[in-house]
Amino acid sequence: MPGSLSPSHQADPPSQAGLSAYRFEITGGLLVIFATMLLVAVFVAIAPEPTEQQVAVEKGVLAVLPFDSVGQENTGADLAANFQDSLISSLANMSGVKVIAKSSVLAFVESQMPLHLIEQELGATAYLSGSIERDGPRVRIQARLTDTKSGLVDWTRTYDRELSSDSYFEVQSEILSGISRSLSNGFNFADQAKLSRRPKTDLGASDLFYRAKRIFELREVDNYLTATLEELEKALVIDPDYVSALSLKAHVELAQYWYASRGREWIEKADKTLKAAEALAPEDPGTMVVRGYYHYWGFRDYDKASAILERAMDLAANRSDVWELSAYVARRQGRFKETLTYLSRARELNPLDIELVTEVIETQATLGALQDTIQLGNAYLERYPDNYDLIDNMDRMWRLRGAPDRAYAVLENEVAAPNWGFYSRRTRTALLTQDRGNIERALQDLRNQSSGSVEHFLIERMFAIDAAKLSGNLEEVETLEQEIRQKVANTPFAFQNEWTPNGLWTPVDVPSYLGDTAAVEAAVRDYEMQFAPDYWQTARHWSSIASALARVGLVDASMNYIERYVTLYGPLSVLRFENNPVYRDARKSPRYQRLISEARRLLDLQTS
């Protein structure tokens, strides 16, 4: 069967000890620096300083809610959104106070859950809320800190001033200092030093930066990467030394390469942009995160990425994106226990981010922690029944457990905005069920979504060959093989021979469907010659090689890769090979029988 679409993040192998006991928890890291904001200015506090009698919040886990925009001016909404974002970014770089990531706060607010559930849902012991009212050249900002257990306001203040770039950071620092005094752990000496040297930028540049950031995060416009860069370029014309804008620009340039496959010139552009940011602020954690992506996405140099992320952890242990990227890098390095630890830390800071949940599910399922994965996945499916990534990873989990019928049932959920990739996954799983009705429906839906590209054409034919073999229609198999030969002969495409981490297939897929044993063996030799340690990518490559070798009748060679896979990912990982017809002969071998016997023994222990 052709290689499946891989998730955008992939990564690594474990030590054998205690895989089933790994626990977990954990988007994507944007690097916002606390500087910038459309509005704010020289506010003069009109409320008195909080008294010493006020009780400090017991633990410093803070959620910054969106500030209400009041008044008649249309600019108020953007101003309020920028204000929340800037405060969260500033707090995330402080070590004394743990702050919940913006994406989880917004998910909580959008769910319309009552505020008394904020501790249960976000783990917050206090929340900051308030309002912003803009009136011509003046603005009034009211901020209040509330204890989640008692519902009592611990600190409140109102600022009423003219808009001024010069005074913005001073006022924000006052708000942050007020928060610190009310939190029992508060800011330490290093945090206070950060407040005293906070960078300043033009408010117009700040507004453009946050507009770009929202485009990048929400991805709701066509060509969102290009649109993000356009806004950032405008911001950098106003303020060429705007570190946050430079860091985000470099991140988007890297995304042009990693997600949009725009060529390695984007890696060079990102490096140039990063060097400009690093020259201005060499110890900026947000820039360090992007430099980590540079090593990871640009060169798959996981050692360098890990080294710079360790420094970012020291400087900003409350940034969820630091822990998230550290997890992906550790996974690539085969440090699976650390991977789950890092994902857990990221989820503490970003508890409602569904992407982190799906990464935990994918990692645990691959390592064989199936019971934990089922429990976590089912809990989130109840809350997000149409989430594409969640459904995809629950499908993967059931397939890895050797339960294709359960996997297919998950894929029959209504999915938000399904695309060809989703129907490709469903077809692959339908073939594992060996149910003719499932297969026919899945293939038809897949064809209806086809773009007509070479990739889609070939993968659809390979799936159709699997279906024809299951039904015993050898004449149909020959027809489909001939269509593939003609397409390959008439449409040269370089990527058919590339071992990429996120490609639609691997170089062994097409020749194995055509029965070209020599080409399969040559592709495997090429893979082994260029193999660089990447112990998450191997989850896809080794299984694809094993199936290709089995497809051309090289059962012993196929078993070599199955055994390597199981050695790397743990004894329960052999379950993924249980239902694929291509392994029918391999499953008869004594080598396979030893593996599956151990897996069943462990599975019985897990479920007893």
Which has more pLDDT, 178 or 88? 88
Place of tokens 């159709």: 464
pLDDT at 146: 94
The three-class DSSP label of residue 514 is: coil
Residues in the chain: 608
Looking at residue 502, what is its pLDDT? 66
Task: List Cα–Cα distances, 544 to 3, 401, 460, 498, 504, in angstroms.
Answer: 6, 18, 17, 14, 12
Query: Going by DSSP bridges, is the β-strand pair 68-70/98-99 parallel, antiparallel, or unpaired?
Result: unpaired
Q: Which of 354, 329, 357, 335 is nearest to 344 (CA)?
A: 357
Q: What is the pLDDT of residues 456-499, one digit of tens each?
A: 999 999 999 999 999 999 999 999 999 999 998 887 655 567 78
**Span 429-435, mean pLDDT?**
97
C-alpha span between 194 and 27 (Å, rounded): 25
State whether CATH 1.25.40.10 applies to domain 201-318.
yes
pLDDT digits (tens, 9 = 90+) for 286-316: 999 999 999 999 999 999 999 999 999 999 9
Paired tokens of 246? 């430079």
CATH assignment of 44-199? 3.40.50.10610
Q: What is the DSSP string of 410-448?
A: HHTS--SS--HHHHHHHHHHHHHHT-HHHHHHHHHHHHH
Q: Is the pLDDT of residue 75 over 70?
A: no
DSSP letters for 430-496: HHHHT-HHHHHHHHHHHHHH----HHHHHHHHHHHHHHHHHHT-HHHHHHHHHHHHHHHHHS--GGG
d(CA 385, CA 415) in angstroms, rounded, equals 8
Distance CA 431, CA 16 (A): 31
C-beta separation of 359 from 9 below 8 A: yes
By mean pLDDT, which of 125-129, 173-177, 247-251, 304-308 is the weakest?
A: 173-177
CB 245 within 8 A of CB 234: no
The pLDDT score that the predictor gives to residue 32 is 32
Q: Is the confidence at residue 15, as pLDDT, over 50?
A: no
List, in sequence order, the alpha helices (H) in 149-264.
Answer: 165-182, 189-196, 203-218, 224-238, 243-258
